[in-house]
């Protein structure tokens, strides 16, 4: 075969106007068109690879945070506020990402958090692994659409396999042990795992208190989390009632009230004012005294209306001035002011009261009832909080978290939120799979078997999907100080040999790989959602070949 090199014979054509003549490693000449080396916008396979690179960078950041031995990240926001966490959704939401594909990964973890509440790190690591495998298939010349189709088939097979290996947990309020084990698995990877048995019990009790077993639903509006710096993490407790970060409006009001009738007001203790612009001229002492008298009469009238309804505690969304406060004390009507909207709503739900927008509408039927309202103080500080207990609706609960500093309390809130979500998912669908990478290995084996029978090109993508699933147990092994590939190979071989889909990575070094014996439990809907969400995002990324910015010209 002969090679031809085209050389322009017309001397009038300036070579430099076209570009630069260069030679490759075999001495063959080629022309670099002018300014082509300065163009930054990529398209086609090159653009796809740059997208994969961005997604892999996000996934590799989270990989080290996976599992019970995962490491934490320190996030510093623009105000210098420090957050320490290993919660995937929190890390990604606080990461400053510019690349559009990296933003898709952030959205991926957010959708997992919104729908399931747990598994936010795993879903991003799995998506990153799928893209890494897709890159190798692209290098072999397989079209991205064929890869996406293969991934879709493999995800279906993996989800079917999860259904096969799932077990049903009896979601029985009288037998909480199985639910506590599931919550402990979720909390095992968090900072608060020092007392994670206690935290798991609090999460289970909170969910079972507010759960509607007939409708198989949990209303998270009824579970409030309140934190106060000071004390130990072990001092965290579940309070059957509502805690409000407020105190009685006057220091001389009684600190403990029993058999309380509560007026829940969203109207301020102040004389009525016209809604439009108004002007009042006080030109003499008599006018001023008349105004003062009018205000005092109005205050007394309001307090009388509250007292006549039978209320012995007023909780007000707005403030009131010192004169109103003094009159409330004189009339022996304890009051709390500046209570926020969400707290007002929760108090109304808990006490069975109605929120009253005008004093004239107060009636005995609209009052909330509580057995005990008390003001509690902490340590030697001036911090006070109100506890409303023995309410009419006992389904409203508050998790009161204590901790040495603000960061540990915030992390405890995030961890407990994940545990609450997992228990709620078990109330909705009480099927579980076993963790420690066991279900991923079982799914990978099922996908590989299906790939062997697939006659089309998609079998390569299916095998790649199986390899990506194995990244999760390998990351768990690596984070636990084990040899990832050797451990992974041994477990996979044992799963095939013993036909036991419960064998996984022994992250806590308990000398057994059977996750059922170790009680490492994950919800089935959470695991299925992880696989389907990661596959959907990867399919979407594989179908993107260009990113256009506004105002960009085609040059």
Same domain, 145 and 96: yes
Between residues 517 and 276, which one has the greater pLDDT? 517
pLDDT range class, residue 407, cuts 50, 70, 90: confident
109 has a pLDDT exceeding 80: yes
Q: Which residue range is the domain that position 308 belongs to?
A: 241-273+282-393
5 has a pLDDT exceeding 60: no
Mean pLDDT of 443-451: 94
307 has a pLDDT exceeding 70: yes
What local confidence, expressed as pLDDT, does residue 7 receive?
42
Residue 202 lies in a domain: no
Q: Kindly report the CATH number assigned to the domain that includes residue 138.
A: 1.10.560.10
Residue 98 lies in a domain: yes
H/E/C letters for each residue in 393-409? CCCCEEEEEEECCHHHH
Residue 209 lies in a domain: no
CB contact at 8 A, 29 and 23: yes
CA nearest to 207, candidates 525, 401, 430, 422: 422
pLDDT digits (tens, 9 = 90+) for 49-59: 888 888 888 89
* Mean of all residue pLDDT scores within the chain: 84
Between CA 402 and CA 127 the distance in angstroms is 36
pLDDT range class, residue 554, cuts 50, 70, 90: low
Same domain, 363 and 478: no
Q: Is 418 a catalytic residue?
A: yes
Same domain, 255 and 142: no
Same domain, 250 and 381: yes
Between CA 503 and CA 352 the distance in angstroms is 50
What local confidence, expressed as pLDDT, does residue 96 receive?
80
CA nearest to 476, candidates 448, 518, 447, 446: 518
Mean pLDDT of 186-194: 79
- Among 36-45, 285-294, 543-552, name the most confident range: 285-294
Q: Enumerate residues 6+ apart whose C-beta is below 8 A from 214.
A: none
Residues above pLDDT 90, as percent of the chain: 25
Q: Which of 64, 83, 90, 120 is catalytic?
A: 120
Q: State the DSSP string of 319-343.
A: -B-HHHHHHHHHTT--EE----HHH
Same domain, 351 and 467: no
Same domain, 464 and 320: no
Q: Is 483 a catalytic residue?
A: no
Residue 498 lies in a domain: yes
Q: What is the dihedral of CA 354, 355, 357, 362, to 10 degrees?
A: 40
244 has a pLDDT exceeding 60: yes
* Other Cβ atoms within 10 Å of 76 Cβ, number: 10
Mean pLDDT of 92-119: 86
Same domain, 471 and 528: yes
What local confidence, expressed as pLDDT, does residue 159 receive?
95
Q: Which of 393, 423, 448 is the last residue of a domain?
A: 393
Residue 305 lies in a domain: yes
Mean pLDDT of 216-231: 87
pLDDT range class, residue 10, cuts 50, 70, 90: very low
Residue 388 lies in a domain: yes
Residue 160 lies in a domain: yes
Q: Which of 87, 149, 467, 506 is catalytic?
A: 87
pLDDT range class, residue 11, cuts 50, 70, 90: very low
pLDDT range class, residue 165, cuts 50, 70, 90: very high
pLDDT digits (tens, 9 = 90+) for 487-510: 999 999 999 999 999 999 988 888
Between residues 539 and 326, which one has the greater pLDDT? 539
104 has a pLDDT exceeding 60: yes
Same domain, 387 and 451: no
Mean pLDDT of 276-297: 82
Instruction: Report how many domains make up the chain.
Output: 2
Q: Which of 118, 149, 418, 467 is catalytic?
A: 418
Q: Is 236 a catalytic residue?
A: no
Q: Which of 342, 370, 393 is the last residue of a domain?
A: 393
Same domain, 446 and 353: no
Q: Is 121 a catalytic residue?
A: yes
Q: Which of 61, 85, 121, 523 is catalytic?
A: 121
Q: Kindly report the CATH number assigned to the domain that includes residue 330.
A: 3.50.7.10
Between CA 309 and CA 548 the distance in angstroms is 66
513 has a pLDDT exceeding 60: yes
Partnered with residue 389 across adjacent β-strands are: 241, 372
pLDDT range class, residue 76, cuts 50, 70, 90: confident
Residue 496 lies in a domain: yes
Same domain, 316 and 267: yes
Q: How many residues does the chain have?
A: 555
Same domain, 366 and 454: no
Q: Which of 364, 393, 422 is the last residue of a domain?
A: 393
Same domain, 330 and 450: no
């Amino acid at each position: 075969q002969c090679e031809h090199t085209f050389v322009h014979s017309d001397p009038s054509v300036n070579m430099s106007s076209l570009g630069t003549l260069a030679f490759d490693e075999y001495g063959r000449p080629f022309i670099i068109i002018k300014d082509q080396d300065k163009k930054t916008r990529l398209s086609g396979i090159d653009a796809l690879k740059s997208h994969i690179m961005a997604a892999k960078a996000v996934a590799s950041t989270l990989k080290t945070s996976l599992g019970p031995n995962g490491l934490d990240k320190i996030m510093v926001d623009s105000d210098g506020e420090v957050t320490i966490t290993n919660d995937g959704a929190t890390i990604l939401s606080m990461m400053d990402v510019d690349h559009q594909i990296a933003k898709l990964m952030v959205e991926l973890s957010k959708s997992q958090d919104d729908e399931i509440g747990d598994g936010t790190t795993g879903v991003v690591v799995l998506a990153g692994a799928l893209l890494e495998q897709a890159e190798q298939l692209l290098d072999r010349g397989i079209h991205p659409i064929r890869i996406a189709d293969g991934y879709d088939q493999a995800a279906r097979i993996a989800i079917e396999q999860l259904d096969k290996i799932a077990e049903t947990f009896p979601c029985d309020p009288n037998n909480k042990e199985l639910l506590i084990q599931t919550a402990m698995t979720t909390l095992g990877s968090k900072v608060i795992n020092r007392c994670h048995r206690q935290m798991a019990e609090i999460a289970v009790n909170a969910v079972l208190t507010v759960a509607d077993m007939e409708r198989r639903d949990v209303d998270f509006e009824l579970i409030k989390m309140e934190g106060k710096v000071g004390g130990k993490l072990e001092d965290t407790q579940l309070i059957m009632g509502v805690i409000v970060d407020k105190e009685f409006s006057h220091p001389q009001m009684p600190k403990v009230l029993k058999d309380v009738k509560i007026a829940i007001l969203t109207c301020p203790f102040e004389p009525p004012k016209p809604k439009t612009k108004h002007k009042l001229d006080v030109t003499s002492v008599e006018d001023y005294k008349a105004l003062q008298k009018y205000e005092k009469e109005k205050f007394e009238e309001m307090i009388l209306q509250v007292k006549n309804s039978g209320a012995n505690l007023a909780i007000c969304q707005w403030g009131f001035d010192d004169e109103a406060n003094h009159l409330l004390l004189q009339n022996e009507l304890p009051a709390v002011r500046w209570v926020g909207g969400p707290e007002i709503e929760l108090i109304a739900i808990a006490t069975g009261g109605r929120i009253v927008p005008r004093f004239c509408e107060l009636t005995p039927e609209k009052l909330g009832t509580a057995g005990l309202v008390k003001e509690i103080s902490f340590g030697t500080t001036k911090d006070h909080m109100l506890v409303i207990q023995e309410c009419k609706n006992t389904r409203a609960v508050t998790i009161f978290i204590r901790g040495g500093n603000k960061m540990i309390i915030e992390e405890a809130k995030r961890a407990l939120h994940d545990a609450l979500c997992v228990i709620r998912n078990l109330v909705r669908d009480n099927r579980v799979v076993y963790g420690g990478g066991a279900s991923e290995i079982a799914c990978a084996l099922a996908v590989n078997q299906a790939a062997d029978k697939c006659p089309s090109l998609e079998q390569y993508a299916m095998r790649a999907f199986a390899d990506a699933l194995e990244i999760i147990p390998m990351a768990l092994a690596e984070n636990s100080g084990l040899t990832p590939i050797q451990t992974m190979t041994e477990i996979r071989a044992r799963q095939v040999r013993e036909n036991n889909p419960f064998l996984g990575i022994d992250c806590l070094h308990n000398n057994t790989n059977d996750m059922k014996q170790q009680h490492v439990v994950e919800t089935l809907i959470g695991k299925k959602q992880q696989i389907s969400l990661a596959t959907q995002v990867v399919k979407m990324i594989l179908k993107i070949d260009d990113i256009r910015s506004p105002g960009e010209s085609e040059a």
